[in-house]
């Protein structure tokens, strides 16, 4: 039991948090914030939980955890309101620099150079995401990292990330989100793996308006998980505890006892915190009085944990009514002062920018001519605004520029806008990818080397040698996935490596793609270098939400405060039917901005990409060509060190009449078609883009168009997918349209999935003949007499 002073501190923090929730609702209603979601009702459980934390422990939670963050001193009231207002200064709002929604918490794990800070010196919070349940896969990986740090002797020196694996990964989730698939997948995996993960379920009986009875069987997640409970006869499983959210002493006892078991024995636990309330409803979007009965609302008033804790403190003699009233008065004043300070810090710079714009308009008036009246009106409207947003300034500046266009008065307005846009680029467009000296695009290029003795081997052996070198070089490299360990993956890239490095370095998982990807995120957040294998590219769909909402946005949504250099290894392009055709590249390009998407055509290039990525701090997906593992390639003598640059294309065949832009498995098809076209007098240049994100960073494709003046974009994705993306990159963004004398074309697969069998393949995906015909038709447009129609 804490001392009386510590108990009073807990009550102070809980009361403070409640005042924050109450005042924050008012800020939304006043229009000073856009939306609010808060942790009222969960305060007492969270101050009790905080007492179980130790330095190095990590949180993967959700948007009701403000009291926990206050209790751990990872957040103060002014920072909370700064986030509510979307303050873009990371000094004011360190979790996201104004990019994340309110109550989405994160600690800064990186210094200003993008390098790791010592994570074991304090408590850490991984960055929250709104999709409910999305924090679960990452939580699994954070806990698994503790197991690895404890079990692998070679990881002991990495004390900035772990001290003997003693860290607990604390997760939090709402009761309704326990109905989601990722929750169950992560719970099952944690039970199988036996990791030090403590999961808390905040149960207030509802998921917005939908009660527990409609959410989970039996209406109780702890009842439903009884089969997971550890017993003396069956010690593999979960510790499962149920505790009332208004019972402060019981909460203290539960969290201290359960956390100690999790930390000591490295087992998972779930604490179901029941009979919680939500005094202000789900969010500022609507009132809970619309769906809760009068009886339920009365019950919630009677079971509100905060007044119950207050009554218990007085009953125990730890403080008097008068002393608590004085404390509460102090906290009301403190929260209001912090709110006002946060608003002033947020609004003052904008007011100054508004005045600077008004002054710029003033300076333009002398040369405005007929636009003078319009400019004066814009200036006066700007000065009348009491709390302008920066978007208001941008709109006013644009209107003023339109009015002053073609006159000398436009120049000071243009100067103001250029300065403002540069600042906005810094506020909103940075840190999509690494900007550190470890960025993948900054890794020095080292070509593969060969000698007269270099042998030809199957492609999978090139990868195997690459992974062997990586595992030997860096003890933080951990490879895992379905069939990766004992079998060495279904295509043998890791064959024999588990026997060499052990099952913890090269391991098997269950069939659980979402948590394979999430597991990698959590591991990478703790300094490890995971290579997570998804057996086939089609199966990426199971975890696309995790990659898109969590991994791809992580660096951006923390404004450079966190990173997870995850490598997702997968394979595709095999033309054997509906679920193994493996080319949903447009889907990835749309969903995975913030990751690299690499599409090597052979295993030597794949190995070069892996070497590059393992020297960088960026996340990526590498898509290997499924039918390339048995194709012979020469084995480089520097297999563990050579690197391949990202975003640099390879001209496989030079030509003068038409350029074919493609990647992956289609490279072989394009080369065969080019040979056939050569026989009828058409010289075709074939370009392998090699990586889709980034794409052709030095404009090599446009240089090809300057020579051929015609282009075909080719791949196996659906129409409008990656071919459309490549066309936009080349024709629009790089200005390739200036060099074209025929319409650019795309050639993709059919709109449906690929049918099974060789005939189904032939009529579902591009073939040598369809590539031949497409190029022939493009060239025929400008030389129909020489190349008469084949139609």
Q: Which residues are catalytic?
A: 580
3-class secondary-structure state, position 195: coil
Write out the E strands in 463-615: 477-481, 506-508, 529-533, 567-572, 596-598
Q: Give the distance from CA 103 to its chain's centroid.
A: 17
Q: For residue 532, what are the contacts with CB-CB under 8 A and spacing of at least 6?
A: 480, 481, 516, 517, 519, 520, 566, 567, 568, 569
Sign of the Cα torsion 736, 702, 660, 783 reads positive
Decide: 111 and 432 in contact? Cβ < 8 Å.
Answer: no
Q: How many residues does the chain have?
A: 791
Decide: 189 and 519 in contact? Cβ < 8 Å.
Answer: yes
Give dist(CA 653, CA 655) in Å, integer.
7
In the structure encoding, which two tokens stand for residue 521, read together?
A: 């995120």
Decide: 310 and 238 in contact? Cβ < 8 Å.
Answer: no
Q: For residue 193, what are the contacts with CB-CB under 8 A and spacing of at least 6?
A: 140, 144, 147
Q: Number of C-alpha atoms within 13 angstroms, CB side, residue 617? A: 23
Q: Number of C-alpha atoms within 13 angstroms, CB side, residue 582? A: 23
Give dist(CA 774, CA 780) in Å, integer.
10
Backbone angles phi, psi at 174, to 5 degrees: -80, 155
**CA-based max dimension of the chain:** 102
In the structure encoding, which two tokens stand for residue 40, read together?
A: 């009222």
Give dist(CA 317, CA 124) in Å, integer.
35
Give dist(CA 580, CA 756) in Å, integer.
9
The 3-class secondary structure across 349-375, one letter per residue, is HHHHHHHHHHHHHHHHHHHCHHHHHHH
Nearest to 126 by CA among 111, 136, 118: 136
DSSP 678-700: HHTT--EEEEE--EEES--TT-H
Sign of the Cα torsion 596, 602, 606, 608 reads negative
User: Under the phi-then-psi rule, with left for phi > 0, alpha for psi from -120 to 50, and beta for the rest, what region is 720?
Assistant: left
3-class secondary-structure state, position 650: strand
Which H or E run contains 314?
Answer: helix 305-316
Q: Between the CA of residue 628 and those of 89, 94, 778, what are the distances in Å?
A: 49, 46, 30
Q: For residue 643, what are the contacts with CB-CB under 8 A and spacing of at least 6?
A: 443, 444, 445, 446, 608, 611, 612, 615
DSSP 403-468: HHTTSTTHHHHHHHHHHHHHHHHHHHSS-SS--STT-GGGSPP------TTPPEEEHHHHHHHHHH
In 565-719, alpha helices (H): 585-591, 603-614, 666-679, 700-708
3-class secondary-structure state, position 52: coil
3-class secondary-structure state, position 302: helix
Q: Give the distance from CA 312 to its chain's centroid.
A: 43
| Other beta carbons within 10 Å of 529 | 21
Q: What strands lie across the sheet with 124-125, from one edge to the other?
A: 124-125, 58-60, 169-174, 197-202, 269-274, 239-244
């Amino acid at each position: 039991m804490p001392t009386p002073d510590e108990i009073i501190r807990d009550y102070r923090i809980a009361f403070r948090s409640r005042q924050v929730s109450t005042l924050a609702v008012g800020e939304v209603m006043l229009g000073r914030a856009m939306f609010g979601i808060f942790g009222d009702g969960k305060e007492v459980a969270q101050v009790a939980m905080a007492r179980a934390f130790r330095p190095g422990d990590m949180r993967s939670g959700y948007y009701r955890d403000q009291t926990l963050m206050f209790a751990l001193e990872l957040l103060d009231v002014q920072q909370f309101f700064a986030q509510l207002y979307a303050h873009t200064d990371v000094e004011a709002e360190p979790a996201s620099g104004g990019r994340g929604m309110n109550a989405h918490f994160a600690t800064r794990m990186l210094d200003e150079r993008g390098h790791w800070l010592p994570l074991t010196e304090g408590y850490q919070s991984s960055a929250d995401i709104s999709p409910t349940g999305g924090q679960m896969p990452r939580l699994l990986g954070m806990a698994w990292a503790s197991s690895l740090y404890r079990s692998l002797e070679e990881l002991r020196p990495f004390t900035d990330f772990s001290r003997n694996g003693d860290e607990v990964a604390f997760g939090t989730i709402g009761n309704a989100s326990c109905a989601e698939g990722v929750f169950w997948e992560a719970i099952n995996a944690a039970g199988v793996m036996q990791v030090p993960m403590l999961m808390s379920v905040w149960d207030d009986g509802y998921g917005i308006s939908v009660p527990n009875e409609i959410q989970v069987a039996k209406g109780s997640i702890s009842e439903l998980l009884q089969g997971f409970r550890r017993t003396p006869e069956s010690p593999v499983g979960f510790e499962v505890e149920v505790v009332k959210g208004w019972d402060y002493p019981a909460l203290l006892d539960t969290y201290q006892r359960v956390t100690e078991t999790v930390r000591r024995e490295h087992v998972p636990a779930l604490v179901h915190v029941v009979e919680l309330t939500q005094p202000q409803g789900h969010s500022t979007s609507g009132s809970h009085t619309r769906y809760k009965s009068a009886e339920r609302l009365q019950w919630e008033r009677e079971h509100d944990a905060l007044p119950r804790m207050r009554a218990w403190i007085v009953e125990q003699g730890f403080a008097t009514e008068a002393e608590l009233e004085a404390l509460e008065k102090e906290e009301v004043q403190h929260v209001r002062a912090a709110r006002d300070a946060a608003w002033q810090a947020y609004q003052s710079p904008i007011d100054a920018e508004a005045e600077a714009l008004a002054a710029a308009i003033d300076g333009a008036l002398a040369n405005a001519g007929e636009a003078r009246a319009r400019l004066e009106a814009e200036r006066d409207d700007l000065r009348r605004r009491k709390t302008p947003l920066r978007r208001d300034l941008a709109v006013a500046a644009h209107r003023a520029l339109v009015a002053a266009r073609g006159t000398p008065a436009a120049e000071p307005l243009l100067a103001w806008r250029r300065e403002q846009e540069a600042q906005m680029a810094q506020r909103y467009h940075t840190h999509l990818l690494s900007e550190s000296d470890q960025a993948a695009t900054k890794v020095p290029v080292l070509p593969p080397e060969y000698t007269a003795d270099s042998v030809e081997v199957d492609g999978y052996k090139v990868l195997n040698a690459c992974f062997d070198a990586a595992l030997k070089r860096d003890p933080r490299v951990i490879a895992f996935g379905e069939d990766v360990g004992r079998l060495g993956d279904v295509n043998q890239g890791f064959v024999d490596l588990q026997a060499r490095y052990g099952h913890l370095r090269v391991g098997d998982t269950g069939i659980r793609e979402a948590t394979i990807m999430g597991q990698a995120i959590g591991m990478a957040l703790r300094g490890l270098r995971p290579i997570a294998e998804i057996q086939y590219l089609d199966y990426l769909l199971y975890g696309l939400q995790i990659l898109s909402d969590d991994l791809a946005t992580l660096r951006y949504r923390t404004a450079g405060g966190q990173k997870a250099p995850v490598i997702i290894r997968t394979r595709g392009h095999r033309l054997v039917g509906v679920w193994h055709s493996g080319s949903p590249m447009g889907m990835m390009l749309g969903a995975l901005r913030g990751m690299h998407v690499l599409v090597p055509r052979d295993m030597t290039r794949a190995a070069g990409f892996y070497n590059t990525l393992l020297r960088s701090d960026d996340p990526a997906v590498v898509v290997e060509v499924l039918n390339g593992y048995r194709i012979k390639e020469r084995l480089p003598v520097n297999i563990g060190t050579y690197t391949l640059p990202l975003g640099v294309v390879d001209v496989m065949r030079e030509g003068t009449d038409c350029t074919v832009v493609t990647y992956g498995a289609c490279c072989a098809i394009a080369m065969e078609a080019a040979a056939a076209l050569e026989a009828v007098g058409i010289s075709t240049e074939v370009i392998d883009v090699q990586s889709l994100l980034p794409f052709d960073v030095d404009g090599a494709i446009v240089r090809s168009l300057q020579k051929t003046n015609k282009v075909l974009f080719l791949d196996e994705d659906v129409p409008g997918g990656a071919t459309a993306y490549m066309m936009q990159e080349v024709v629009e963004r790089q200005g390739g349209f200036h060099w074209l004398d025929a319409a650019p074309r795309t050639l993709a697969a059919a709109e449906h999935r690929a049918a099974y069998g060789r005939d189904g393949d032939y009529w579902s995906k591009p073939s040598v003949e369809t590539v031949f015909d497409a190029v022939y038709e493009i060239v025929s447009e400008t030389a129909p007499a020489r190349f008469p129609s084949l139609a």
